[in-house]
Amino acid sequence: MTRLIVTVYLFSLLAGLATAQEQKLQRLNVVWSTIGGTTSSLWVTKDAGIFAKYGLDVQLILILASTRAASSIIAGDVDIGLIGSTAPVLARLAGSDLVVIGNSTTHAIFSLMTHPSITEISQLRGKTLGVVRFGSVSDIGLQHALRNNNIDPNRDVKLLQIGGIGEMLAAMKAGGIQGGLFPPPLSGDAKRLGFRELMDPERVNLKFAQSHLSVRQAYLKENSDTVRRFMKAWIEGIHYMKTHKDFTLNVLRKHTKSEDPSALEETYRIFAMKYLPPAPYPTEESVKTILELIASSQPKAKTAEPKDFIDPSWVRELEENGFIKTLYR
């Protein structure tokens, strides 16, 4: 009887300790807007338990379309967001205090996928192409690629808002659109379904970050310790991606729903090993490129200073104090 009482007591004590530890975790709502490799660093950090290691109960919230995701940050519905890189730039031009504190990649990685009957760029004239939302990376990037190939996106093609990357692939299958920009691994899924990669990422050539880690400046001032712990966890998660390939491939499979091994392998190569740096600084160059691309429709972009859109101090602190270097020893 005594042994039973002791056992019950110990079980209750351990359960109480576990509950107390859970209660110490600070809830943090983090929005993401793109189903693809650009968000994989968040997924890996969450699924590997690294956010919890730093005392954060991170809730990852999907809001398809980066412009809507940016609005949710501005409204205070969420705290931080890894969202399409054009959205925070547009939001700040419109007067918000949204600022970029990190980049998911050094380049935006998209393939221009089209109906198999389209074999050259000139055949896009008169066709309907899909974008997630006007102002999104899929829109700004597509217009950039078209203009670079002497196709006027306002006159030569019809652009249709679809609402999400997955929905764009469904629209391609249904014949509602004839093409659009797709990131890995969905670009690989599109190939497997018989669609043509008319332009690979090198040819699309988008020299700006695919997603920006964005937060309100007011939130940074009031929650500096929370942001610092988040950044430590995220940057450690990036290291975990680079050093735990099998785990990352399983995470990619889980979140993208892709069952194409070659597409997942390519996504890992591109996003974990090639374009995601250990120190994910936001850069003036990325913002400058975006400002140049949107200047024709956003007059304020012509005189805006790229440095006003970023705050690299959060990554710099972790590089200068040796935190990042320690991860890669």
Structure confidence by residue, pLDDT tens digits, 119-159: 999 999 999 999 998 888 889 899 989 999 999 999 999 99
As beta bridge partners, residue 28 has 58
Question: In sequence order, what are the residues at sequence separation of 6 or more whose Cβ sits closer than 8 angstroms to the Cβ of residue 115?
Answer: 172, 178, 179, 195, 196
Instruction: Say if residues 309 and 89 touch (Cβ distance below 8 Å).
Output: yes
- Residue 221 confidence (pLDDT): 97
Backbone angles phi, psi at 177, to 5 degrees: -135, 160
User: Which residue type occupies 209?
Assistant: A
Question: In sequence order, what are the residues at sequence separation of 6 or more whose Cβ sits closer than 8 angstroms to the Cβ of residue 182?
Answer: 110, 111, 113, 165, 168, 169, 190
- Residue 16 confidence (pLDDT): 42
- Residue 186 confidence (pLDDT): 87
Domain boundary among 184, 204, 224: 204
Co-location of 118 and 192 in the same domain:
yes
Q: Which pLDDT tens digit goes with each residue over 76-108? A: 999 999 999 999 999 999 999 999 999 988 888
Instruction: Say if residues 93 and 123 touch (Cβ distance below 8 Å).
Output: no
CATH number at residue 313: 3.40.190.10
- Calculate the alpha carbon distances from 230 to 43, 52, 91, 272, 274 in Å: 13, 10, 23, 19, 23
CA distance 182 to 109: 8
CA distance 208 to 103: 9
Of 47, 139, 128, nearest in space to 87 by CA: 139
* pTM of the shown model: 0.81
Q: What is the DSSP letter of 273?
A: I
Q: What is the DSSP letter of 322?
A: T
Co-location of 88 and 124 in the same domain:
no
Instruction: Say if residues 38 and 210 touch (Cβ distance below 8 Å).
Output: yes
Co-location of 117 and 98 in the same domain:
no
Helix count and strand count (H, E) for the chain: 16, 10
Co-location of 195 and 122 in the same domain:
yes
Co-location of 68 and 96 in the same domain:
yes
Torsion on CA atoms 261, 262, 263, 267, rounded to nearest 10: 100
Co-location of 256 and 241 in the same domain:
yes
Find the domain containing 103 and state its range: 26-107+208-327
- Residue 202 confidence (pLDDT): 86
Co-location of 231 and 314 in the same domain:
yes
pLDDT tens by residue, the chain, 329 residues: 444 444 443 444 344 434 444 558 999 999 999 888 889 999 999 999 999 999 999 999 999 888 999 999 999 999 999 999 999 999 999 999 999 999 988 888 899 999 999 999 999 999 999 999 888 888 989 998 999 999 999 999 999 999 888 899 999 999 999 999 998 888 988 999 999 999 998 899 888 888 999 999 999 999 999 999 999 999 999 999 999 999 999 999 999 988 889 989 999 998 999 889 999 999 999 999 999 989 988 999 999 999 999 999 999 999 999 999 999 99
Domain boundary among 155, 189, 204: 204
Co-location of 268 and 152 in the same domain:
no
Q: Give the strands of the sheet with 98-103, arranged side by side.
A: 56-62, 26-32, 80-84, 211-216, 98-103
- Residue 259 confidence (pLDDT): 86
Q: What's the domain count of the chain?
A: 2
Co-location of 101 and 122 in the same domain:
no
Q: Is residue 3 part of a domain?
A: no
Q: Is residue 36 part of a domain?
A: yes
- Residue 172 confidence (pLDDT): 96
Return the SS3 of 34.
Answer: coil
Of 228, 230, 240, nearest in space to 48 by CA: 240
Q: How far is CA 156 from the centre of its chain?
A: 30
